[in-house]
């Protein structure tokens, strides 16, 4: 008999910027992000001088089959590499029919999206609900130098990840420090 998935819930822990319970945790340090920042020499130097965590992902695992939904919380630390703000690697979904929703919880971020030569940017504040249509590559950036950027994501369990494509077709826009704010270059 097919195993029945039990209903479940978790609570967003405001102090830890994480779910109270989660089934998987991943962190990405600067050492995991070779080649992602424009100034690779500076990234390497920062790796050697402490290798800070860039972002953390707290995920709920469900069967990876059509009909189920994955969800997670991402927390991007404040910081930058030679002026380029800390960000996620970014990816396309392997299954290009799969969309995604991001919900801003804390801090200030940008959602960078692209499809072919088209780019779109949505500023993410607490309460922003952003829709990433199927087929668009997506990356998030923390544009605060002082506080973490935290957001919730939900997406179809059969989406898969294509990180290589985001390297082959790099995100065209970069968010860089501009005084106490940011600008896109
Ligand atoms: C899932 C999704 C997010 C990201 C997360 C980390 O489809 O888009 O949950 O996986 O924000 O970013 P990446 O996966 O680009 O390292
Ligand atoms: Mn995604």
Q: Which atom number of ligand 1 is nearest to the Cα of residue 59?
A: 9
Closest ligand, as measured to the CA of 72: 1
Closest ligand, as measured to the CA of 151: 1
Confidence (pLDDT) at 27: 98
Q: Whose CA is nearest to atom 11 of ligand 1?
A: 74
Cα of 149 to ligand 1 centre, how many Å? Answer: 14
Question: Whole-prediction pTM value?
Answer: 0.97
144 has a pLDDT exceeding 70: yes
Q: Give the mean model confidence (pLDDT) for residues 138-156.
A: 98
Distance separating alpha carbons of residues 34 and 14, to the nearest angstrom: 31
Distance separating alpha carbons of residues 34 and 169, to the nearest angstrom: 16
Report whether residue 91 contacts ligand 1, using a CB cutoff of 6 Å.
yes
Cα of 180 to ligand 1 centre, how many Å? Answer: 26
Cα of 23 to ligand 1 centre, how many Å? Answer: 16
Confidence (pLDDT) at 121: 98
**Helix H or strand E encompassing 141:** strand 137-142
Residue pLDDT, tens place only, 24-81: 999 999 999 999 999 999 999 999 999 999 999 999 999 999 999 999 999 999 999 9
122 has a pLDDT exceeding 90: yes
Confidence (pLDDT) at 4: 86
- CATH number, domain 12-184, options 3.40.50.1580, 2.60.40.150, 2.60.120.10, 1.10.10.10: 2.60.120.10
pLDDT band at 3 (very low <50, low <70, confident <90, very high): confident
Closest ligand, as measured to the CA of 137: 2
* Phi/psi at 167 (5° precision): -85, -40
Tokens of 174: 């970069």
Tokens of 49: 């001088």
Q: Which of 171, 145, 161 lies closest to 36 in space, CA to CA? A: 171
Q: Whose CA is nearest to atom 14 of ligand 1?
A: 90
Residue pLDDT, tens place only, 110-119: 999 999 999 9
Residue pLDDT, tens place only, 82-107: 999 999 999 999 999 999 999 999 99
∠13-74-80 over CA atoms, to 5°?
120
Distances (CA, A) of 53 to 4, 29, 87, 152: 37, 4, 11, 19
Residue pLDDT, tens place only, 9-28: 999 999 999 999 999 999 99
């Amino acid at each position: 008999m097919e195993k029945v998935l039990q209903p479940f819930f978790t609570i967003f822990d405001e102090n830890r910027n994480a779910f109270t319970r989660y089934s998987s945790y991943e962190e990405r340090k600067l050492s995991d992000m070779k080649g992602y920042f424009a100034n690779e020499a500076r990234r390497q130097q920062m790796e050697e001088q402490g290798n800070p965590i860039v972002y953390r992902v707290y995920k709920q695992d469900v069967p990876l089959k059509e009909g189920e939904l994955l969800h997670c919380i991402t927390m991007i630390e404040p910081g930058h590499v030679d002026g380029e703000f800390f960000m996620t690697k970014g990816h396309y979904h392997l299954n290009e029919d799969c969309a995604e929703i991001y919900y801003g919880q804390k801090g200030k971020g940008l959602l960078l999206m692209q499809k072919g030569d088209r780019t779109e940017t949505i500023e993410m504040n607490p309460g922003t609900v952003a829709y990433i249509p199927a087929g668009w590559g997506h990356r998030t950036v923390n544009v605060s130098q002082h506080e973490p950027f935290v957001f919730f994501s939900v997406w179809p369990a059969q989406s898969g990840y294509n990180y290589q494509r985001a390297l082959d077709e790099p995100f065209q826009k970069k968010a860089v420090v501009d005084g106490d704010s940011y600008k896109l270059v």
